[in-house]
Structure formats: C-alpha cells, structure tokens
C-alpha cells in the first residue's frame, strides 16, 4: 500500500483534440485534483487525438476532453472539462456518490 492507502500508482490518460480552452481547463482541473488527493501516486499522460487519431479507438473515445482511469481497474471515463470536482472524484472512485 502506498501512503494514500492505494495498492498501486494510478495511471490516467487525458484525451484532447489540440490544446483548446476546454482541454487546458481539463488538464488544469485533473492535475489539481490528483495533486490534492493522489499526491505523487499517479501518472498522467495527455494524448492529442489531432496528432494521434488512431489512439482514440483503443479506449473508445467519442468525445474530448475525456479522462480515462486505466489503473486501478476497472477502467473509468469522465468526459468534459473536469470542472465539477465532486463529479470527478466520484468518477475516479476517490469518494462515494452522495
């Protein structure tokens, strides 16, 4: 177990279609949430589908920005600018839904 009580490092992927204002907000929001709740126990990869469109198929990405939690499983997806912190926390499985 790591210092945050999780068994392994979290692996997150943020899919965007170029660095639009919504993509920048999503990146900022997910980093803020992860830094607060996961500290150093996560990795975040940003994939620009304008540069690598074939990667959208692997995680069945139909809208951007989309955040994918690969590890810990099961895979989870959150679509949007990730501005609603409570929704993101629930989507990531960091807190129970109210």
List the CATH number of the domain containing 76. Answer: 3.40.30.10
pLDDT at 4: 45
Q: Determine the pLDDT at residue 40.
A: 86
- What per-residue confidence (pLDDT) applies to 1? 42
pLDDT, tens digit, 9 for 90 and up, residues 41-89? 999 999 999 999 999 988 899 999 999 999 999 999 999 889 999 999 9
Contact 29, 47 (CB under 8 A): no
Closest CA to 9 of 46, 34, 33, 28: 34
- pTM beyond 0.75: the answer is yes
Is residue 63 helix, strand or coil? coil
pLDDT of residue 95: 79
In a domain, 93, yes or no: no
Please count the structural domains in the chain: 1
Q: Is 33 domain-assigned? A: yes
Q: Which residues lie across from 78 on neighbouring strands?
A: 67
Percent of the chain past pLDDT 90, that is, above it, reads 74
CB 12 within 8 A of CB 30: yes
The pLDDT assigned to 94 comes to: 87
Specify the higher pLDDT residue, 5 or 57.
Answer: 57
Q: Predicted confidence band at 96 (pLDDT cuts at 50, 70, 90)?
A: low
- What is the residue range of 46's domain? 10-84
At 28, give phi and psi (nearest 5°).
-60, -45
Which of 83, 75, 76, 71 minimizes the C-alpha distance to 27?
Answer: 83
In a domain, 5, yes or no: no
Give the integer Cα–Cα distance in Å for 56 and 95. 28
In a domain, 38, yes or no: yes
Q: Residue 71 and residue 42: Cα distance in Å, rounded?
A: 9
């Amino acid at each position: 177990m790591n210092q945050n009580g999780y068994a392994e490092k979290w692996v997150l992927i943020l899919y965007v279609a170029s660095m639009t204002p919504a993509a920048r907000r999503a990146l900022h929001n997910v980093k803020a949430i992860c830094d607060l709740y996961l500290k150093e126990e996560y990795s975040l990869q940003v994939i620009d589908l304008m540069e690598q469109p074939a990667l959208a198929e692997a995680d069945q990405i139909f809208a951007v920005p989309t955040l994918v939690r690969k590890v810990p499983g099961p895979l989870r997806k959150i679509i949007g600018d990730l501005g609603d912190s409570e929704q993101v926390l629930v989507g990531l499985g960091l807190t129970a839904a109210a």
